[in-house]
Structure 1
């Protein structure tokens, strides 16, 4: 009965994701009929106006949004199991703050040095480098301390430090140079090209598969570290792997789309409530699929709500995610 229920939910999420992707591709400032969308995609038509809109703008954006949502949800689930804390997301370790700091150095510092044109790919590389630097700091600390709470606090403090340095950069930057950086901080999937989609799919797919391989020790960890040790889990190596996979997934998304709030925090809870299980063999793919669908729908709302003005994706995900977190806190009736 449970297998049939899980299969039904996976099919439901797949249908929801497929519908959201098709609507994202067909609806916008220039609406494209559904039949035309299917024809263009199936026949690989790219020499028409609609074909150019779909293949060069909407399809890579829709795929990138779905992939990034899946990675953020999986990263959030890993961290919530690791810290045994429901109010933990991918950015709790300061990954997004490290990425924002490096992008601030490139965009604000580079412009101040007279570099007028900065390639978007270079900005993505800078963001990934900042996220990776913070991740390496956390990995170094994780190898030396035993307390998960201490590791969490160090991650928070690292994030605050990066945010403080970024604020100093903003304070000394020229006002007209801040718009691009502020927009990046709000998060957006616009402007993503096929090369970035390929990179996100290959890198993120490998990381997500690696995270899925941790299902068994993750399930053992649910019963405590002592039980996990008795099952043969190398706790030190296991902690390093969780921090690596979750930080790398979140850092990669931040590099290409900017900080996207609340997906990694709220979607894992939705997956637990929907599937009614704590088995990570079900929850990791389930949360990833649900995260892809939810992020795709949020991106659609961000594009259409005040069209032709596009809202930052984090504005929509925060409106979606904040009530979930508040409801969880009220349900627990305890301070986290």
Structure 2
């Protein structure tokens, strides 16, 4: 437990440093003193204050809580499916969100930010309803995983049909959304993102003991008195909803949910979800904020998609885990 406590304290410190770095670092030259003055209400009301409060702060906080949410989703699904390659997008939620945006953008209804968010949410919620209805009828977690993947293929096929007949400008706008970015998040969006992520965290903590039992399999969990059917419903509901929310506001952010639980397990060397849940949330938040900083500074003033940074960070880790054949779930 001492190792876990030290690791959690270190992750808290690193996550706070990453948030401050996210606010301070960018293409515009803003000093640390300016950031501190603005955040403490001592700013001059100039352009620097505007950039800090209206551009970098909401983007960084959005990336922080969005990364934490995706990481939690990945942990829940990897534990339930007992599959190290399970992630937030295996149940077809992101594909449904992508299809919703495709219908909105490629049909040239519009390309406004909140139109994108709304259409992504509608698509995701439709997928959640389908998945939950299937989950009540399918007992096997493997069957549910296969069905989720098949739904992804179906949604993706319809999306490609729409792309085939769409105007090139609309296709370009849609493709940019699929790359993922936290740049569109505003101060008005933060209460929704923060409250949803914190609620998810609390629910995940409450599920910690059942999750520990599920590591040994559903039969073992049942023998320990776990209501597997209810826990499965809650895992799917929570992980699907937070994936839908983050995808709606930021597009598809790759590898955070898939790689972060593995990284955290390697750091802590434990499968105890009472420790893993807060650690995974902090690790996911830190990684996402750092990748967001990289995406907007490495070739500034041009911004690369955040999924490029997260993929380049996450893919080598997953590859190394597969090659080394570690026990990661």
Give TM-score, length-normalised by structure 1.
0.94
Q: Distance in 2 between matches of 1:206 and 1:267?
A: 20
Is 1:108 the counterpart of 2:106? The answer is yes
1:149-298 correspondence to structure 2 within 5 Å = 149-298=142-291
Report deviation, 1:277. 0.7
1:1-336 correspondence to structure 2 within 5 Å = 2=1, 4-43=2-41, 45=43, 47-109=45-107, 111=108, 115=109, 117-332=110-325
Aligned-residue Cα RMSD (Å) equals: 1.6
- How many residues are matched? 328
Report deviation, 1:44. 5.8
Unaligned runs of 5+ in 2: none
- State the Cα deviation string for residues 118-165 of structure 1 (Å, max 9, x = none): 431221121112111111111111111111111110000000100111
Q: Distance in 1 between matches of 2:44 and 2:23?
A: 14
Report deviation, 1:208. 2.2
Q: Distance in 2 between matches of 1:67 and 1:46?
A: 29
Report deviation, 1:268. 0.1
Unaligned runs of 5+ in 1: none
Contact 2:91 2:151 in 1 (8 A): yes
Contact 1:46 1:52 in 2 (8 A): no
Give TM-score, length-normalised by structure 2.
0.96
SS of the residue corresponding to residue 195 of structure 1 reads coil
Once the two structures are overlaid, the 10-residue window that deviates more, 61-70 or 37-46, is 37-46
Once the two structures are overlaid, the 10-residue window that deviates more, 231-240 or 61-70, is 231-240
Q: Distance in 2 between matches of 1:54 and 1:179?
A: 29
Q: Distance in 2 between matches of 1:209 and 1:131?
A: 22
Contact 1:46 1:55 in 2 (8 A): no
Q: Distance in 2 between matches of 1:241 and 1:333?
A: 28
The structure 1 segments of at least 4 consecutive aligned residues displaced by more than 3 Å after TM superposition are none
Q: Distance in 1 between matches of 2:68 and 2:257?
A: 9
Report deviation, 1:179. 1.7
